[in-house]
Amino acid sequence: MKHSKTMLSILATSMLTLSTPVVAFAESDHAKNDQVKQQTEGNSKWENKKENQLKQKEELAEKLAEKRKQAVENRMDTLHRWLDRIETHTEKIEDQMEDYFDEDNDDKDEEEEQEQEAPESNEDEESEESTDSDESEEESEEAPESDESDEEETQTSEEEESSDEEQSSLVESYQQVTAEQDIVAAEEEEESESEAGSEEEGDSDEEEESNEDEDENEEDKESDDEGEEEAEEEDNEEEVVDPEEEKEEEEELEGYDERAKSFSGKLKAQTHKLDAVEKHMNHLNDWMQKKLGADASLEPIEEVEERIASLREDVAEAQEELAEYQAEMKEEVEEDKEDQKEFENKEEVETDKVWNVAFNTDLSQSMVDDLGFYVFDEAMNAVPVDVQYNEETRSVELRPEKNYDSGKSYTLFIAKDSKSQDNLTLKNAVKMDFSVK
């Protein structure tokens, strides 16, 4: 009996030992299947994530390209607006020059003017200052204009989320009660361990999946945040110049006109403004090549270049006309030297000084327009003045278009002969030098 019991025990143990690898192999195959499944699902999620990121980048690229094109259009509009102003200002200067110098003015009251007697200037009253006579001078005040610009501020915030991870594990143990139950206990223990292992693997798989999902969510969020940051950075670079810089450019262009006092200075100011616009155009061209690359169209740049070249020609023609006008003026001043009546120099006059010249006979505005009233600086560059006739006082007011430069010297000259009427002549040409305090 003892021998048979021993044989049965050995036989049972052998059977148990032989059956164990079979269970292990089965569990190993199941784990591999789960691993392959998880890997497949992970690859699928990764591919979807990459596709979403690629789609977001494409959408962002389209938006940026659209913003860049709009920025180019806005900048082009600004350049053309500046060129329109330069063109208008150049035409205005040419009209002023014709009124100031030209001998081809249309006379609507030609018959009336021909009937007028030739006036003689009163030697005792010519070039009287308004401060020396009972006449009062009008002073013009210009209220400075100021542009108010609103500044816009943008604030960005980033939120971060964190999730807590919980892990659990199950542990079960069995104890042997008697020696006879060793085999049963061993079998139960192995079965319980295999079940516990499968449960732990299931729990760990779920935890890994949840962790992977959380990691993927965090990565997606980080990629979204990075995309938003890149979009913000790109958005800040999608303007050729910022509004504050463009405002400074506007002030720079306006400053050229404000500082110009003579006709020569006015035309030079137009040249300086064209130089500035050309510089801004070149900057825009560089920006387009950098941001748009092969998509950059050269047609808008070429159009601006053509306008700049055309306006340069207009300014050059106006400068040639001015040179001819001023040469005639100088010649007239030299010719009338013998018959000139030169008044005492006036010093320390106001920058907005208005001169009053009295005549001994009645005139009209059209007759005054035909007389040569000139104010020029030390270089004999003509300075625009507004010439108005006052019928009540029989005097002509000469008001500077812009204030005279402080510390500079000028000359007031009245030509003896009329520009277009032979019978309109002064007894003497008049000349007076004055300096500004």
pLDDT in tens, 251-274: 999 999 999 999 999 999 999 999
Does residue 107 lie within any of the structural domains? no
**What mean pLDDT comes out for the span 9-16?**
55
- What whole-number distance in Å separates Cα of residue 248 and Cα of residue 133? 46
Does residue 255 lie within any of the structural domains? no
- What whole-number distance in Å separates Cα of residue 420 and Cα of residue 242? 54
For residues 193 and 92, which has the higher predicted lDDT (pLDDT)? 92
Per-residue pLDDT at 257? 94
- Total number of residues shown for the chain: 437
Q: Which two tokens stand for residue 328?
A: 């005639």
- Contact at 8 Å (CB) between 371 and 388? no
Three-state secondary-structure class, residue 238: coil
Per-residue pLDDT at 225 exceeds 90: no
Burial class (CB within 10 angstroms; exposed 0-12, middle 13-18, buried 19+) of 65:
middle
Per-residue pLDDT at 281 exceeds 90: yes
- Which of 45-49, 98-102, 226-230, 381-385 holds the top average pLDDT? 381-385
* Terminal-to-terminal C-alpha distance of the chain: 143
- What whole-number distance in Å separates Cα of residue 153 and Cα of residue 177? 79
The phi, psi pair for 413, rounded to 5°, reads -135, 135
Q: Which two tokens stand for residue 185?
A: 């206990």
- Contact at 8 Å (CB) between 359 and 395? yes
- What whole-number distance in Å separates Cα of residue 145 and Cα of residue 147? 7
Per-residue pLDDT at 210? 55
**What mean pLDDT comes out for the span 271-289?**
94
Q: Residue 170: pLDDT band by 50, 70, 90 thresholds?
A: very low
Does residue 149 lie within any of the structural domains? no
**What mean pLDDT comes out for the span 184-189?**
50
**Summary mean pLDDT of the chain:** 73
**What mean pLDDT comes out for the span 374-389?**
93
Percent of the chain with pLDDT strictly greater than 70: 60
Per-residue pLDDT at 126? 41
Q: Residue 304: pLDDT band by 50, 70, 90 thresholds?
A: very high
Does residue 304 lie within any of the structural domains? no
DSSP 148-177: --PPP-------------------------
- 238 residue type, one letter: E
Distance of CA 188 to the CA centre of its chain: 83
Per-residue pLDDT at 226? 53
Does residue 348 lie within any of the structural domains? yes
The sign of the dihedral angle between the CA atoms of 302, 306, 309, 312 is negative
- Contact at 8 Å (CB) between 325 and 419? no
Q: Which two tokens stand for residue 173?
A: 């143990």
- With CA atoms as reference, report the closest residue to 385 among 99, 109, 107: 99
Cβ-Cβ contacts under 8 Å for 377 (sequence gap 6 or more) = 261, 262, 383, 408, 409, 410, 411
Per-residue pLDDT at 248 exceeds 70: yes
Using N-to-C axis directions, what is the helix angle for 2-101 and 263-291, rounded to 10°?
160
- Contact at 8 Å (CB) between 221 and 231? no
Does residue 421 lie within any of the structural domains? yes
Three-state secondary-structure class, residue 145: coil
Cβ-Cβ contacts under 8 Å for 280 (sequence gap 6 or more) = 79, 249
Per-residue pLDDT at 208? 52
Per-residue pLDDT at 331 exceeds 80: yes
For residues 401 and 69, which has the higher predicted lDDT (pLDDT)? 401
Does residue 99 lie within any of the structural domains? no
Per-residue pLDDT at 92? 95
Does residue 378 lie within any of the structural domains? yes
- Which of 1-5, 214-218, 286-290, 337-341 holds the top average pLDDT? 286-290
**What mean pLDDT comes out for the span 363-383?**
88
For residues 171 and 96, which has the higher predicted lDDT (pLDDT)? 96
- The CATH number covering residue 355 comes to 2.60.40.3710
Cβ-Cβ contacts under 8 Å for 372 (sequence gap 6 or more) = 329, 332, 413, 414, 415, 417, 418, 419
* Number of domains present in the structure of the chain: 1
- Which of 56-70, 196-210, 391-405 holds the top average pLDDT? 391-405
- Contact at 8 Å (CB) between 420 and 370? yes
Per-residue pLDDT at 175? 40
Domain that holds residue 391: 121-136+335-436
- With CA atoms as reference, report the closest residue to 400 among 255, 260, 268: 260
**What mean pLDDT comes out for the span 109-128?**
44
Per-residue pLDDT at 292? 80
DSSP 23-72: HHHHHHHHHHHHHHHHHHHHHHHHHHHHHHHHHHHHHHHHHHHHHHHHHH
Per-residue pLDDT at 378? 93
Per-residue pLDDT at 319 exceeds 70: yes
Per-residue pLDDT at 204 exceeds 80: no
**What mean pLDDT comes out for the span 301-325?**
96
Q: Residue 65: pLDDT band by 50, 70, 90 thresholds?
A: confident
Per-residue pLDDT at 108 exceeds 60: no
